[in-house]
Amino acid sequence: MESRIRVKLPGGAWMVTFLGAVIGAALFLHTYGSAVLDTTNDAWIFRIKDVDIHQHYLGWCSFRNAPWSFPPGLFNSLSYPHNMSILWTDSIPLFALFFKACGSDLPDTFQYFGMFGIISQALTGAMAALLMRKVTENDIIAVFSVPFYAGSFPILQRMFYHTSLTAHYLIIIPLLYIVYDGCKWKEGGKCAFWGTYSFISVMIHPYLFIMGMVIAVISFIYEIVKTKRIWPAGITGIVSLVSTYTAMVMMGVLSGPANLGYKLGGFNANLNTFFNPMKLGDLLPGLPIYTSGQYEGYSYLGAGGLLLVAFGFVLFVIKQVKRINTGEKFYVEEKAVVLFIIFITFFLMSVLPDLSYNTKLIFSLKIPDVLQSVIGIYRSNGRFIWPCYILVFTAAISVIADIHINTGSRRRMIPALFLICFCFCFQIADMEKTMSENYMTFNKKYKYWHSDLEDEESFSNHLGYEHIVLVTPDSYTMERSAYFAIKNGLTLNRFYFARDIESTVEEDLEKYHAACRKGNAPPDVIFVFDEKTMEEWRKDTKLHFYDISGTIVGVAKPLERREIGG
């Protein structure tokens, strides 16, 4: 094989970046349409079966309406009377803080999840194009490679379910630092790069942030080994830590009663993750998994992606055989070794502690409690497989980019482009059904969504109520009570947070129950029950209980309606 074909487009890196962003945005519009980009349209959010995005949107709405506090990311309207960070509602703190600062300039109904989604896919496409431009040294192949990154199955799985986790450009950006020889940059440039990256990434999602930081640490070690100097990497690391701490203080992460005592286990990646479509792909059969939580480690490459990797592997083997036959010395670039170390690191981080294939447990690693207390906050460690799928595609396309025909023109790269396009056709065929279903779902016109408490006039004028206290932990009731509370300016005592506060809530409920037993029920509180908790409180309190369109409430003063059991 001859030397690699180097092709540059007019405009160079800017043109490649622009085209990558356009392809990413086009893939988003093809999958979800434009209705979700209407910031005043939130009806589609409540029609998604998975409740996570309901949590994220309601968290933003409540945070938006809450008064400013210090730190600015704290609010208590969903955890009254305790402050919680906007981070724990997964409402994308960077956007939540920015748009809250816009204040009255925003319309009454405002959602930014569609906007975030298209920005994520566009930036992922842009960064992927830049990555492949450097790796392949061919702008055209770099642009044609973009759909495998910006339209990946992991992004398809997460969009409008856990939207902030679709920002896979935050995984690619640290890789750019390595392939573009960031270790040779001036110290000010390094500090600006990692300081900015740390602040933005942790304000979008801490899992993506930690992925970037692992890549940063490996790159710093590489820099120290290469330059034999510790202090430049050390200063950059300190700047990154300060930037991260500043962002965490702003979000209020260091305050509040959030439970951080989680442990790894059950949410890791299965060894079949690269070829298990889990119902999102149509061309390959789904495979069983060891625990139900292993959906967190979803990293299906797609039928086209697997074909791409297969072609890349075969071509790599052929190339090495030819090298051996010609006596050519085997050579591996330093940066390729660094990227391989990154791949192995994340692969192990994602598949442990319970190494499993399909439903079979192969090995279980015992993690000491002391270490669990530190790393357990990242209990959904299966997500750490995402840098691996990015690196797998990068390696495969890098090999394919080397094949060409013997001609003096750009037509030499036709075989490489043909293989990439051929594989992408299979990729689209594999995901087209899911993409079409998504398009239909998100572009319907939905009716106004409401809470059961709005169905009757009992609470239409609030009657002096200021708080809703959920005695029941039922998520359905919680969601509808939160919607009613937000719409009517009331507070809520419990909500579905990424890190729960249930022990604190139970302590508060004991105090409320004790007060009600003594006949001191607060008159400004609407207590919300299920059948079981209502019976428990009816035995020893003098609350008045009512059925409001299926929602059981209890209040201190009687309403002008028939009581339950009355």
CA distances to 141, 190, 555 from 520, rounded to whole Å, are: 72, 61, 11
Of the candidates 143, 134, 17, the residue with the CA atom closest to the CA atom of residue 424:
143
pLDDT in tens, 333-355: 899 999 999 999 999 999 999 99
Cβ atoms of residues 398 and 135 within 8 Å: yes
Rg (CA), the chain: 27
How do residues 114-137 score in pLDDT, each as one tens digit?
A: 999 999 999 999 999 999 999 999
Specify the pLDDT at position 562. 87
Contact 392/301 with Cβ under 8 angstroms?
yes
Q: What is residue 3's predicted lDDT score, i.e. its pLDDT?
A: 57
Backbone angles phi, psi at 150, to 5 degrees: -70, -25
CA distances in angstroms from 208 to 66, 164, 168, 481, 543, listed in the order given: 27, 9, 8, 31, 47
Residues of the chain with pLDDT under 50: 1-2
Cβ-contact 487, 494 below 8 angstroms: no
Pick from 382, 356, 386: which is nearest to 154 by CA? 386
Over the stretch 21-33, which tens digit does the pLDDT of each residue have? 999 999 999 999 9
Cα distances from 222 to residues 38, 328, 367, 390, in angstroms, run: 45, 27, 28, 20
Q: Where are the alpha helices (DSSP H) in 352-474?
A: 369-375, 386-400, 414-442
- Tokens standing for residue 223: 């820099």
In whole angstroms, what is the distance from residue 111 CA to residue 408 CA?
A: 53
Phi, psi of 270 (to 5 degrees): -85, 150
Reported pTM: 0.94
Task: Tokens 């929602």: give the residue.
Answer: 551
User: Cβ neighbours of residue 15 under 8 Å, at least 6 residues apart?
Assistant: 9, 139
Using DSSP's 3-state secondary structure scheme, residue 12 falls into helix
